[in-house]
Amino acid sequence: MTPPGDVLDRIAAANPVEVSAIPRSGAPDAAALRARVVPPAPRSRGRAVSVTLTGAALAGAAVMFTMALPRGTDGPTGSPPPGPAVSPTTLGPTPSAKISPPPDAPAFDMEILRPGGGENALSGRRFTNASLLGRRTVIAFWASWCGPCRTDLPDLRRIAATAGPGTAVVIVASMDPPPDALAALDATGLPVALDRRGTALEAFGATGLPTTILTDTRGRVIWKVYGPGLEGIEATLQTTPRD
Amino acid sequence: MTASADRFDAVYAAHRPAVLAYALRRLPAAEADEVVAETFVTAWRSIERMPADPLPWLFGIARNVVRHQRRAAGRRAALSDRLHREPAPPHATVGGDMPVMDALARLGASDRELVMLVCWEGLSLPEAAEVLGTTHVAARVRLHRARRRLAALLDERPAGARATTEEIA
C-alpha cells in the first residue's frame, strides 16, 4: 500500500512545468496589458456622452462575450443582419441612429509605418480622415500581442484580396511597438498605420482590441465590430457602393 | 506613472512566470499566453483589490480564466460525450509520471485543483484555500481525502500496466 504521505511528493516530482524554465522575456510588457483597459470617460458631459458610455459598456461586454464564443455562432458579431444597418455592437445603437446618416469618422491623424501596395496602398506620410475619401476602407485596430487580433488576420487578408477595386484594408498597430507589429504583419503586405497610445482607438469609441471599422467612400463609419469576427464587415461590403 | 501602475508592473514582472506555468499545466501552450494576458488585464482592472501577497489572488483569477477558456474550447470543438463525462485531465503529461497523471485525472475537479495548487504551484494550504474560495479547515480535510484516494488509485494499477507506461515514457 502506498503511504498517503508519499503520494504528494510523487505528484510534486511529476510537475510537468518548471517556473524557472520559463523565459522572462518575449511576453507583452505590463504597459501593453494595462493599455487594454481603457478608462471610462467622465460622465458629466450630458446626454450624448451618456449614450456613448452605455454603448461603450455594451461593447466592452460584447468584446468579452465575443472572445469567448466560437466564430460563426450566435455571438454579437457572428451572425450580423445583412445590409449596412448598425450592428448590435455599434456605439450609439439607438433607434434614431439607424435612420440617421452614418456618422463621420472621428478626427484622426496617424503615422504610416508601411504604405502597402496595389489597391490597398496608402499615399502620403499620414493616415488621416482624408485618406478615407473615395474608397471604402476597413480599419483594423490590431496588436501583435492580442490573440483574437491574430485570428482576424487571415480574414483581413482575404477581404483585401477579394473586395476588389475601391476598397482598402488598413491595419492600425494600436499600443504595439512598431517593430513587433511590422514583424507580425510582414507577410500580409497590408498597409500599417500607428496608433501608439490608442488615442484613435478610443476616439472611435472602442474599449479593447481587436476593433474593426468600415467607412464608406465619404469617410463615414458604417460598421463597427468589437472583438474578433469580420462576417458583418464582409456582408456590409457587399451592399456598400464603391464610389 | 501612477503608484498603481508601478505596483502592477512590479507584480507582473515578479509573477508572470508563475501564472504562465499555472496555465501551461492546465491548457495547451497556444492558449496559455492568452490566459496570462487575460489574468493580468483583469488584475489591472481590480488593482485596488490586489492583496499584499498577490499570487493566490492571481491564481484565483487565472483559475476562472482557464475555466472560461475550457468552456469556449469545448464549444468550439464540440467535445465528445466521453470528454463531457470525464473531468479534464491535467495538461502536459508527456514525459511526466503517467500513473500519477492518470490518478490525478481521476480525482474530482476541485480536489485535483487543490492537489495541483499545493504540489505544483507551491502554495501553502491557507493560500490554496484562498484560491478555491474555501476555508483552511475544509481544504485540509479535502487534501487528506485526496491523498488517500490518490494512494488507492496508484495501488490499484496493475503492475504490468505501470511497467508498460514507464517504458513508453
The CATH code of the domain that includes B107 is 1.10.10.10
Distance from CA of B139 to the nearest CA of A (A): 15
One domain, residues B81 and B105: no
One domain, residues B101 and B164: yes
pLDDT of B27 reads 79
One domain, residues B81 and B100: no
One domain, residues B126 and B155: yes
One domain, residues B100 and B27: no
Given B42, B58, B85, the domain boundary residue is B85
Confidence tier at A241 by pLDDT (50, 70, 90): confident
Are the C-beta atoms of residues B118 and B126 closer than 8 Å to each other? Answer: no
One domain, residues B7 and B61: yes
Whether B90 maps to a domain, the answer reads: no
Cell representation of residue A3 = 503511504
Q: Residue B60's CB: how many other CB atoms inside 10 A?
A: 15
Distance from CA of B26 to the nearest CA of A (A): 10
One domain, residues B80 and B127: no
One domain, residues B145 and B168: yes
One domain, residues B5 and B57: yes
pLDDT of A124 reads 84
pLDDT of A197 reads 81
Distance from CA of A42 to the nearest CA of B (A): 17
H or E, element range at A139: strand A136-142
Q: Which residues pair with B26 in a beta bridge?
A: none
Distance from CA of B55 to the nearest CA of A (A): 14
Q: How far apart are CA A111 and CA A193, in angstroms?
A: 6
Higher pLDDT, B95 or A158: A158
Distance from CA of A88 to the nearest CA of B (A): 21
Q: How many domains are contained in chain B? A: 2
Kindly determine whether residue A2 and residue B9, on different chains, have CB atoms separated by under 8 Å: no
pLDDT of B101 reads 80
One domain, residues B74 and B1: yes
Is A22's pLDDT higher than 90? Answer: no
- Judging contacts by C-beta atoms under 8 Å, the chain A residues touching residue B9 are 30-31
- Judging contacts by C-beta atoms under 8 Å, the chain B residues touching residue A22 are 17, 20-21, 24
pLDDT of B75 reads 55
Q: How far apart are CA A139 and CA A137, in angstroms?
A: 6
Given B58, B85, B112, the domain boundary residue is B85
Q: Looking at A7-21, A178-192, B98-112, B143-157, which range is the least confident one? A: A7-21
Which of B35, B97, B114, B140 best tests the A interface by mutation, with the highest count of A CBs <10 A?
B97
Domain ranges of chain A: 45-237
We report the CATH number of the domain holding residue B5 as: 1.10.1740.10
Q: How far apart are CA A224 and CA A190, in angstroms?
A: 20
Whether B36 maps to a domain, the answer reads: yes
Query: Cα angle at B63 between B60 and B68, to 5 degrees?
Result: 130
Are the C-beta atoms of residues A122 and A193 closer than 8 Å to each other? Answer: yes
pLDDT tens for residues A41-57? 443 333 322 233 333 33
Mean pLDDT of A78-83: 31
Whether B80 maps to a domain, the answer reads: yes
pLDDT tens for residues B43-86? 988 888 899 999 999 999 999 888 887 776 655 554 444 444 44
Q: Distance between the two ends of chain A, CA-based, in angstroms?
A: 80
Phi, psi of A234 (to 5 degrees): -65, -40
- Judging contacts by C-beta atoms under 8 Å, the chain B residues touching residue A2 are 151, 154-155
Q: Looking at A37-51, A190-204, A209-223, B93-107, which range is the least confident one? A: A37-51
Q: Alpha carbon of A139 to those of A104, A110, A135, B145, B166: distances in Å?
A: 14, 12, 12, 56, 54
**H-type alpha helices, chain B:** 3-24, 29-45, 55-77, 81-85, 98-105, 109-119, 125-132, 136-155, 159-168
Q: Does residue A26 belong to the interface with chain B, where contact is any CB pair within 8 Å? A: no
Give the one of B21, B90, B151 whose C-beta lies nearest to A22's C-beta.
B21
| CATH superfamily to which A45-237 belongs | Glutaredoxin (3.40.30.10)
Q: How far apart are CA A48 and CA B89, in angstroms?
A: 51
Q: How far apart are CA B131 and CA B39, in angstroms?
A: 14
> Residue-wise over B95-123: b if at least 16 C-beta within 10 A, else e?
ebbbbbbbbbeebeeebbbbbbbbbbbeb
- Judging contacts by C-beta atoms under 8 Å, the chain B residues touching residue A36 are 37, 41, 44
CA B32 to chain centre: 12
One domain, residues B109 and B159: yes
pLDDT of A173 reads 94
Give the one of A5, A8, A31 whose C-beta lies nearest to B119's C-beta.
A8
One domain, residues B25 and B102: no
- Comparing CA positions, the residue from A216, A226, A201, A231 lying closest to residue A88 is A226
Q: What range does the domain containing B72 cover?
A: 1-85
